[in-house]
């Protein structure tokens, strides 16, 4: 992001009471600003074009691990890296295993990857380039875990509609923010952002990772104590250390660095403009963070910015199609604002009672957790809410936050049985991580169950539209024989569209 831009904090508009209570007809341009995630804010701070690609074109992962691309690992290295470390620590804490040498950890890794469909080459590379360096550094710490009564929570979701930031004029302004913390280590008073990015000799944290953990910390400390889960309630997170952990180094983040405040204001301005500023395409392009000849290596959207669109002359009707599609991108984004973002506001701005009365959530307590099943005892009208959504066929499963709507560990389950005031849910296999086991072992934790719409489908549509917009053919004859090129040129260009062929059944008979 260009640092020459003036910092003008935006007064963030949140939904009014009628909108929060869904007493208005959801229609047209929303009367509130978006509720971004930490990833969105980091993406906007990374580059204005990146946030445009993210929010309008459905592109994901603005920052990627470049070495994983070079090694062609082909899947999410960060997830394996993070999940295995969570698994290791949980095993040490829960099963009283002392990890003292690397071969023991290597064996544990082999067991861990066995049922995850990871091929041998990838397994070897992940171990060699990411896990081995990290484990060697942390061997002492891992060995001591068993002797401490550490309380470690992984993947803690935090959300707050009023995260306060200082302004250049000395005042303050608040923005909504939602994110997920990789690890909260209560006894060592650390909040950790773990990343597979970073190289052995680097002296600075990977791009914007320090900013990311700072945003997450700001979100967490802004949550009113009464709305924290019982297992966090007595803890003062303000004096926790913020750590960015790469495989090779730990970076401690200065919480008072004013650059972060500046980045935040600029990022929110861009996020606002993507939704509500007509000239945002032009402005974002002018203020982009890199150029074709000087690209940011770990930017995940390089293909979106510098793809082959300029070098593929067919289809000829590209400009007309792009003009049409731009309106769709924005309206699909508004659709998400009215559904997904409004729901985030509701979760963070309404009390739990109000949410329950609205039928948006069901409150309960975790009774038991075994293997892939969780049993929750629901309170008051919770059961009716869950049942009515199920009967109306609106859902396939439920999201469950162990904790409060503002802070907790989020999992996903399919209802298996309902009886009296209890519901048993089968957890989705790919969602079960050892970290959740640890959280759920907290005595009698509160839980919130709710349903979420498949919002990712809207992003998929945006992404596919953008893909079609940027796709093309180079050669005349290939384009001439490509039905998709022909179709688009017929619809947006000079060819004709007809409802039927020359007459009769002209279909091929011997293909």
Closest CB 22 distance from other proteins, rounded Å: 6
The single residue among 328, 372, 405, 410 that binds other proteins, judged by CB under 8 A, is 328
Stretch that binds other proteins, among 18-26, 144-152, 271-279, 303-311 (CB under 8 A): 18-26
Q: Is 495 in the site for other proteins (CB under 8 A)?
A: yes
Nearer residue to other proteins within complex by CB, 101 or 372: 372
For residue 291, give the DSSP letter: B
Measured in degrees and rounded to the nearest 5, phi and psi for residue 73 equal -75, -25
Q: How many residues bind other proteins (CB under 8 A)?
A: 58
Q: Which listed residue (28, 170, 224, 234) binds other proteins by CB under 8 A?
A: 28
Residues 6+ apart with CB under 8 A from 465: 57, 325, 328, 329
Given 335, 354, 379, 452, the residue binding other proteins (CB under 8 A): 335
Tell me: does residue 117 bind other proteins (CB under 8 A): yes
509 binds other proteins (CB under 8 A): yes
Q: Which is nearer to other proteins, 283 or 489 (CB)?
A: 489
Which CB atom, from 2 or from 388, has the smaller least distance to other proteins? 388
Site string for other proteins, 434-473 (x = CB under 8 A): -----------------------x--xxx-xx-xx--x--
Does residue 497 belong to the site contacting other proteins (CB under 8 A)?
A: yes
Q: Is position 47 an interface residue for other proteins (rule: CB under 8 A)? A: no
Beta bridge partners of 368: 375
- Does 510 bind other proteins (CB under 8 A)? Our answer is yes
Closest distance between other proteins and the C-beta of residue 132, in Å? 27
Parallel, antiparallel or unpaired: strands 407-419 and 398-404: antiparallel
- 216 with 193: CB under 8 angstroms? yes
**Residue 325 lies near other proteins (rule: CB under 8 A):** yes
Q: How many angstroms separate the CA atoms of 510 and 311, rounded?
A: 36
Taking the CB of residue 488, how many other CB atoms lie within 10 A of it? 23
Shortest reach from residue 26's CB to other proteins, in Å: 5
Number of other residues whose CB lies within 10 A of the CB of residue 429: 8
Beta bridge partners of 163: 175
410 neighbors 157 (Cβ within 8 angstroms): yes
Stretch of 77-85, 256-264, 323-331, 443-451 lying at the interface with other proteins (CB under 8 A): 323-331
Phi, psi (degrees; rounded to nearest 5) at 447: -145, 150
Q: Taking the mean position of all CA atoms in its chain, how far away is CA 25?
A: 28
Footprint (CB under 8 A) of other proteins, residues 355-384: none
User: DSSP 3-state assignment of 424?
Assistant: strand
Q: Which of 4, 11, 25, 370 binds other proteins (CB under 8 A)?
A: 25
We find the least distance from the C-beta atom of residue 381 to other proteins, in angstroms, to be 14
Contact between 339 and other proteins by CB under 8 A: the answer reads yes
Among residues 335 and 352, whose Cβ is nearest to other proteins?
A: 335
Helix spans in 10-146 (H): 17-20, 38-46, 48-57, 66-70, 77-94, 102-114, 120-126, 132-145
Kindly state the smallest distance separating residue 497's Cβ from other proteins, in Å.
Answer: 5
Our CA dihedral for 85, 88, 93, 96, rounded to 10 degrees, sits at -170
Indicate the SS3 state at residue 180: strand
Nearest C-alpha neighbor of 82 from the set 183, 180, 178: 183
- The region of 141-149, 151-159, 223-231, 486-494 touching other proteins under the rule CB under 8 A is 486-494
CB of 155 to other proteins, least distance (A): 20
Q: What is the rounded distance in angstroms from the CA atom of residue 214 to the CA atom of residue 169?
A: 21
The yes or no reply on residue 234 touching other proteins (CB under 8 A) is no
Write down the least CB distance from residue 85 to other proteins, Å.
23
Tell me the per-residue interface mask from 412 to 431 with other proteins, x by CB under 8 A, - otherwise. Answer: --x-----------------
CB 507 to other proteins: min, Å: 4
Contact status: 150 vs other proteins (CB under 8 A): no
Q: How far apart (Å, rounded) are the C-alpha atoms in residues 231 and 233?
A: 6
Question: Three-state SS for 378?
Answer: strand
Among 94, 168, 396, 476, the residue binding other proteins under the rule CB under 8 A is: 396
DSSP letter at 131 equals I
Burial 191-203 (b: 16+ CB within 10 A, else e): bbbbbbbbeeeee
> What minimum distance in Å lies between the beta carbon of 508 and other proteins?
7
Instruction: Please answer whether residues 427 and 398 qualify as being in contact, where contact means their C-beta atoms are separated by less than 8 angstroms.
Output: no
SS3 509: coil
Which x/- pattern over 50-89 shows residues binding other proteins (rule: CB under 8 A)? ----------------------------------------
Report the nearest approach of other proteins to the CB of residue 326 (Å).
11
Give one word for 178, left, alpha or beta, with left for phi > 0 and alpha for psi -120 to 50. Answer: beta
Structure-token pair, residue 322: 């792009």
Would you count residue 507 as binding other proteins (CB under 8 A)? yes
Binding site for other proteins (CB under 8 A): 21-28, 117, 325, 327-328, 331-332, 334-335, 338-339, 388, 396, 414, 457, 460-462, 464-465, 467-468, 471, 481-484, 486-492, 495-511
């Amino acid at each position: 992001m260009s640092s020459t831009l003036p910092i003008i904090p935006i007064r963030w508009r949140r939904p009014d009471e009628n909108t929060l209570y869904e007493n208005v007809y959801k229609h047209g341009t929303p009367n509130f600003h978006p509720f971004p995630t930490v990833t969105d804010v980091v993406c906007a701070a990374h580059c204005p074009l990146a946030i445009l690609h993210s929010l309008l074109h459905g592109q994901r992962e603005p920052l990627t691990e470049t070495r994983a691309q070079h090694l062609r690992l082909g899947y999410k290295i960060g997830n394996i890296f993070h999940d295995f470390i969570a698994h290791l620590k949980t095993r040490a804490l829960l099963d009283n295993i002392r990890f003292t040498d690397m071969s023991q950890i290597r064996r544990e890794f082999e067991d861990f990857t066995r049922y995850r469909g990871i091929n041998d080459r990838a397994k070897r590379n992940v171990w060699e380039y990411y896990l081995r360096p990290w484990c060697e550094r942390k061997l002492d710490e891992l060995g001591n875990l068993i002797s401490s009564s550490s309380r470690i929570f992984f993947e803690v979701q935090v959300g707050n509609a009023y995260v306060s930031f200082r302004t250049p004029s000395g005042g303050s302004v608040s923005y909504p923010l939602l994110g997920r913390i990789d690890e909260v280590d209560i006894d060592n008073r650390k909040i950790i952002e773990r990343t597979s990015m970073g190289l052995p000799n680097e002296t600075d944290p990977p791009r914007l990772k320090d900013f990311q953990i700072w945003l997450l910390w700001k979100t967490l400390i802004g949550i009113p104590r009464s709305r924290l889960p019982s297992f966090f309630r007595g803890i003062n997170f303000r004096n926790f250390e913020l750590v960015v952990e790469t495989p090779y180094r730990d970076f401690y983040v200065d919480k008072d660095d004013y650059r972060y405040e500046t980045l935040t204001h600029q990022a929110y301005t861009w996020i606002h403009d993507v939704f509500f500023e007509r000239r945002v395409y032009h402005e974002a392009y002018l203020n982009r963070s890199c150029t074709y000849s000087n690209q940011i290596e770990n930017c995940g959207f390089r293909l979106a910015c510098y793809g082959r669109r300029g070098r593929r002359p067919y289809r000829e009707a590209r400009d007309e199609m792009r003009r049409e599609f731009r309106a769709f991108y924005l309206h699909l984004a508004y659709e998400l604002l009215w559904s997904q973002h409004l729901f985030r506001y509701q979760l963070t701005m309404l009390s739990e009672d109000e949410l329950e009365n609205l039928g948006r959530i069901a409150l309960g307590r975790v009774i038991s957790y075994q293997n892939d099943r969780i049993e929750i005892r629901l309170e008051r009208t919770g059961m009716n809410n869950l049942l009515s959504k199920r009967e109306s066929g609106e859902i396939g499963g439920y999201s469950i936050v162990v904790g409060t709507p503002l802070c907790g560990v989020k999992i996903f389950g399919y209802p298996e049985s309902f009886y009296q005031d209890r519901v048993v849910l089968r957890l989705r296999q790919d969602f079960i991580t050892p970290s959740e086991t640890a959280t759920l072992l907290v005595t009698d934790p509160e839980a919130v169950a709710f349903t979420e719409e498949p919002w990712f489908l809207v992003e998929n549509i945006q992404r596919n539209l953008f893909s079609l917009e940027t796709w093309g053919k180079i050669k005349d004859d290939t384009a001439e024989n490509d039905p998709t090129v022909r179709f688009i040129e017929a619809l947006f260009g000079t060819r004709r569209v007809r409802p039927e062929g020359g007459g009769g059944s002209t279909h091929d008979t011997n293909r």
